C-alpha cells in the first residue's frame, strides 16, 4: 500500500513537471492586406505575447502585401521581440509579406507556397518611382543581413535589374517556390501545418493559442466600415443642426459629439487619422460656426470651413502621408470621397425634409413646448408702458438678427427684419411684438 502511494505521488509530481514544461506558442495571423489595421493587430498580438509569457510566436502568413510604411512598422516590431518568431507561409508572402517573412527568425513554407515579388507599387498598381524602390531594396537587404540570409537575393526580390548567377537573370524580380526558397536559404523547411513546424523543432509538449482581437477591437473595426462612417457623419450634421434649432435641449448635441468620437477614435487608433487631419476638421467646423454666428453674410470663412471639413473627413479615412496618395488605392479614395460627400448631401436632404417632420414626433413633443399660450386661454403679456415707435437709440450688442438695444438709457430686447446690425450702430424702433422691439438701422 505504501509503495502504491509513493508510486502515485511520483507519477503526480512527474505529470506536473511535464505540464509545467509545455511551451506556450502564440499564433499571429497575417492573412489580409498590410495596412494600419494589420499594424495595430500585430502590435496588440505582440503585447499579448509578452503579457501571457509566450515562448514562441508563429506568424500564419498569406498576403499579397500592402502599404510599405505599415510593413516597416511591423518589421520593426518583430525585430524587437526577444523570443523566437517563426513564419509559416501557407500560401503567399508577396511584396510587404516577403519583407515581414524575412524579418522572422525562421521561415517555413507549405507545398505550393511562394515568397518574393517585393517591387513597390503605387495606388494604381504600377511600379512606384525609383526613390521608393531604393528604400525598399535597402530595407530588404538590411533585414536579410540581420537574420543571416543572402542580401543580394532580398534585393533581387525588389529590383528586376539585379543579376545573381544561377538564381536570377535581369528583367524579372525573384519569386521563390518552396523548394527554391529552401535551396537558396530563404526557407528552413517544407511543412503542411504549424504543428509540423513544432515537430520539426522537436517541440512535443506545447499549448497552441491563436491571437484574436477582443470585443472592444472588433467593435472598433465595425466603425471603420465606410457605410457606418457615413451614418456617423449624418448624425454629426443632424445633431448640430437640431441643437442650433432648439438650444438647451442637449440630446442632439450629445448625439453629435458621440458620433464624432465614434468616427474619429477608430481611425486614430488604427493609424489612419493623423493629428493634423483631426485639427483641420475642428478648424473647418469652427470656421462654419463663426460664419453663421459671428460674421454677417456668408463668405470666405464659411466656404473655407466647408471645404476644410469635407477634405479632412475624406483624409481621415485614407492612409495618406500628408497629401501623398501614391500608395493609396484609387478605389479607397473613391469610396472615402463618396462616403463623405454622400453623407453630407444626405444630411442636407434629411434636414430639409425631416426638419418639419421632427416637430410632429412624440419624442420631440416631450421635450419641447408645443402649446399656444393665447389670450383666450387667459394668458397675458406685459407690453411696453410707453410708446417707443419711432424712438431712436443704438445697438447695445450685435443684432444678428436679434440682440439688445439702448434707448434713452434703457436696454430692450430687439430684433431686425433679417438684417445684421453692428454694435453701437444707430437704430430706430419700427414696431413691437410683445416685450420685443422691432428695429431698423438708421443710416
Q: Is residue 48 part of a domain?
A: yes
Whether residues 308 and 399 fall in one domain: no
Q: What is the pLDDT of residue 254?
A: 86
- Sorted by sequence, the CB contacts under 8 Å of residue 421 that are 6+ apart come out as 395, 398, 399, 400, 401, 403, 427, 439, 441
Residue written as cell 504600377?
126
Whether residues 203 and 331 fall in one domain: no
Q: Is residue 167 part of a domain?
A: yes
Q: Is residue 109 part of a domain?
A: yes
Whether residues 109 and 52 fall in one domain: yes
Q: Please state whether beta strands 23-30 and 206-210 pair in parallel, antiparallel, or not at all (unpaired).
A: parallel
Q: Please state whether beta strands 106-109 and 436-441 pair in parallel, antiparallel, or not at all (unpaired).
A: unpaired
pLDDT in tens, 143-168: 999 999 999 999 999 988 888 877 77
Q: What is the pLDDT of residue 16?
A: 46
Q: How many Cβ atoms sit within 10 Å of the Cβ of residue 114? A: 19
Q: Which of 193, 212, 231 is the last residue of a domain?
A: 212
Q: Is residue 90 part of a domain?
A: yes
Q: What is the pLDDT of residue 368?
A: 53
The whole-angstrom separation of Cα 113 and Cα 190 is 9
Q: What is the pLDDT of residue 56?
A: 96
Length of the chain: 443
Report pTM: 0.65
Domain range enclosing 87: 19-212
Q: Is residue 155 part of a domain?
A: yes
Whether residues 269 and 339 fall in one domain: yes
- Grid cell locating 81: 521581440
Whether residues 399 and 432 fall in one domain: yes
Instruction: Give the phi and the psi of residue 234 in degrees, each rounded to 5.
Output: -60, -45
Low-confidence stretches of the chain (pLDDT beneath 70): 1-20, 123-125, 243-250, 292-293, 295-298, 326-327, 350-386
Q: Domain count of the chain? A: 3
Q: Is residue 143 part of a domain?
A: yes
Amino acid at each position: 500500500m505504501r509503495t502504491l502511494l509513493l508510486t502515485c505521488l511520483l507519477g503526480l509530481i512527474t505529470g506536473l513537471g511535464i505540464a509545467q514544461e509545455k511551451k506556450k506558442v502564440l499564433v499571429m495571423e497575417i492573412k489580409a492586406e498590410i495596412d494600419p489595421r494589420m499594424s495595430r493587430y500585430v502590435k496588440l498580438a505582440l503585447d499579448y505575447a509578452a503579457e501571457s509569457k509566450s515562448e514562441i510566436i508563429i506568424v500564419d502568413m498569406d498576403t499579397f502585401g500592402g502599404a510599405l510604411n505599415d510593413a516597416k512598422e511591423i518589421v520593426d516590431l518583430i525585430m524587437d521581440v526577444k523570443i523566437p518568431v517563426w513564419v509559416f507561409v501557407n500560401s503567399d508572402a508577396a511584396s510587404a509579406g516577403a519583407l515581414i517573412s524575412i524579418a522572422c527568425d525562421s521561415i517555413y513554407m507549405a507545398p505550393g507556397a511562394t515568397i518574393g515579388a517585393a517591387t513597390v507599387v503605387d495606388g494604381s498598381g504600377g511600379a512606384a518611382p525609383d526613390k521608393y524602390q531604393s528604400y525598399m531594396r535597402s530595407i530588404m537587404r538590411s533585414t536579410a543581413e540581420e537574420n543571416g540570409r543572402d542580401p543580394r537575393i532580398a534585393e533581387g526580390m525588389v529590383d528586376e535589374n539585379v543579376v545573381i548567377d544561377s538564381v536570377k537573370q535581369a528583367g524579372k524580380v525573384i519569386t521563390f517556390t518552396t523548394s527554391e526558397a529552401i535551396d537558396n536559404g530563404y526557407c528552413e523547411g517544407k511543412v503542411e501545418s504549424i504543428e509540423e513546424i513544432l515537430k520539426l523543432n522537436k517541440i512535443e509538449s506545447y499549448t497552441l493559442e491563436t491571437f484574436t482581437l477582443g470585443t472592444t477591437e472588433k467593435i472598433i473595426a465595425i466603425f471603420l466600415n465606410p457605410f457606418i462612417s457615413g451614418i456617423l457623419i449624418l448624425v454629426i450634421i443632424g445633431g448640430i443642426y437640431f441643437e442650433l434649432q432648439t438650444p438647451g435641449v442637449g440630446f442632439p448635441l450629445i448625439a453629435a459629439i458621440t458620433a464624432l468620437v465614434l468616427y474619429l477614435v477608430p481611425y486614430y487608433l488604427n493609424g489612419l487619422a493623423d493629428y493634423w487631419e483631426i485639427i483641420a476638421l475642428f478648424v473647418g467646423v469652427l470656421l462654419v460656426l463663426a460664419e453663421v454666428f459671428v460674421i454677417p453674410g456668408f463668405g470666405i470663412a464659411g466656404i473655407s470651413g466647408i471645404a476644410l471639413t469635407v477634405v479632412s473627413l475624406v483624409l481621415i479615412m485614407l492612409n495618406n502621408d500628408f497629401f501623398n496618395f501614391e500608395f493609396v488605392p484609387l478605389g479607397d479614395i473613391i469610396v472615402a470621397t463618396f462616403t463623405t460627400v454622400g453623407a453630407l448631401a444626405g444630411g442636407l436632404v434629411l434636414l430639409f425634409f425631416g426638419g418639419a417632420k421632427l416637430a410632429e414626433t412624440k419624442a420631440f413633443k416631450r421635450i419641447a413646448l408645443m402649446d399656444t399660450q393665447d389670450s383666450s386661454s387667459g394668458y397675458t403679456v406685459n407690453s411696453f408702458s410707453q410708446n417707443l415707435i419711432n424712438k431712436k437709440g443704438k445697438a447695445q450688442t450685435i443684432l444678428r438678427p436679434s440682440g439688445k438695444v439702448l434707448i434713452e438709457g434703457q436696454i430692450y430686447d430687439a430684433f431686425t427684419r433679417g438684417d445684421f446690425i453692428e454694435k453701437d450702430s444707430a437704430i430706430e424702433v419700427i414696431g413691437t411684438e410683445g416685450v420685443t422691439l422691432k428695429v431698423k438701422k438708421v443710416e
